[in-house]
Amino acid sequence: MQERVPRLFKRVAKLLPKNPFARNVSVLMAGTVSGHLITIVISPILTRLYSPDAIGTFNVFLSLLSIASIIATMQFQLAIPLPESDDEAIDVVTLAFISLIILSSVLFGIQRLQHPLLLEWSRVMSHGWLFVLALFLLGVYEIVSLWATRKEAFRSIAVTRISQSVASAGFQLALFPLQSFGLMIGFVASRLVGVNGLAKGLLASYRNHPPEWRRLWSSLCKYRQFPLFSLPNELLNAAGRNLPTVLLASFFGPAVAGYYALAERVVAVPVVLIGNATAQVLMTAIPEAYRKGYLRALVMSVQGQLLRIYGLPYMVALLVAPEIFAFLFGLDWRVAGQVTQLLVPWLLVRSLSNPLAPVARAAGKLGTGLIFEVVLVVLRVGGLVLGGLMGSPLLTVGLFSAGATIGILLKLVWLLSLSQVSILELVRNNLSYVVHVLGLGGFGFGLKLYASSFTFWGYCVFLTLYAIYSSVNALRSGIRVSEFEQPA
């Protein structure tokens, strides 16, 4: 399988952008999209092979894993792209492995004890050894993946994402008689395939740059901000992702929570596909730019490109989301489209801010980043609670979106200032595009109010096609990092 996928990549290589930055982002997107498509295709089959109870148990398994994986490596893996020398980077990798081995061993020991406190996890912990194995492999995959990111082996990462989806699908389809255990085995097999696809490069580097205990202590002191600040930051971030669904269900029932979940999942697709790929490429580009002194120019270019990628698609969502949701999912889901309209400002600033996270790491400002994360959680929860007490679901989502938008905007301004970029300067440089998008959106809202339905929908089709063309063109043009480089 690992050999067949690269052949496919060679065939489509001519279709990818020539710009190195855009090409790397496109390669990662191709891997992510292909993996998601495989998952989507087999989902209707899995729901017929597996009982709701089995799928629910598996989701609990994944939720526990997502929380434990944040702690497992103490977030040292995020520091892997930062060191200038491979010797120091290998030391950071070793620190991540040591943390992972210690936590995995502790969890395995606790599982063997069968402590009464674990009774609530009985269904998952009945296969506790598998949970520990899954956690260990998940941690190893994150480490080797970030080492591959450091080495800019983006095609290898994309190949493993496809291979993981194929392995997961194959095992889960074959092992359905085992129910939840079969789903867990499929997940473990997918991570094993991913580790196998990326580990060779790291092992070769270990042979060339063996770690030394003296250097390990120095690296631990140098990168102590990651367990001290990045770890709680990620835990808060994970809590923030789940809070809206939990609180909305608590105040208004599961239906409203379902509207929010569908809206957030659908409209966040471009953030996941483009934003995560861009962020992973920037994990190596930003530290290098910071060391060589061209971070300001790089960030200005990145923000301009991201604005051109996301601007028009989000304007289309703002214009016709309720109608699109009603058409795709049924009239009962029109409310989810209204929720989407309220979430657009938050998702837009999140799309601009998330790829700049490596700036705080490169500048050694993780402590300040944690403060911003606390403020963001407070604003999110405040909006949800205030709206819930007022008794209006849409008002609650609106207040949540407003609080989250303000919090992320403050964080974005801070990240820009670390890059020596002001928000006013960024607006001035992209003012013509902002006016262009607002003009197209304003004209569309005018047609929605005063023109015939045929005219309005004709314009919406045109705007959607234009938005796709504009975003693809911006993505293909990419960011020419080499243009900014200055002699060190």
Domain ranges of the chain: 4-223, 226-483
- Average pLDDT, whole number, for the chain? 82
Q: Where are the alpha helices (DSSP H) in 330-452?
A: 334-353, 357-363, 366-390, 393-418, 423-429, 431-450
Interval 370-411: pLDDT, tens: 999 999 989 998 999 999 898 889 999 999 999 999 999 999
Tell whether the model's pLDDT for residue 415 goes beyond 90.
yes
Tell whether the model's pLDDT for residue 11 goes beyond 70.
no
Which residues make Cβ contacts (< 8 Å) with residue 21, sequence separation at least 6?
Answer: 281, 285, 478, 479, 480, 481
Interval 354-374: pLDDT, tens: 889 889 988 888 889 999 999
Lowest-confidence pick of 112-126, 175-189, 253-267, 436-450: 112-126
CB atoms within 10 A of CB 191: 24
What is the pLDDT confidence band of residue 9, given thresholds at 50, 70 and 90? very low
Q: What percent of the chain has pLDDT over 90?
A: 23
Interval 144-170: pLDDT, tens: 999 988 888 888 888 888 888 888 888
How wide is the angle at C-alpha 339 spanned by C-alphas 338 and 342, nearest 5°?
95
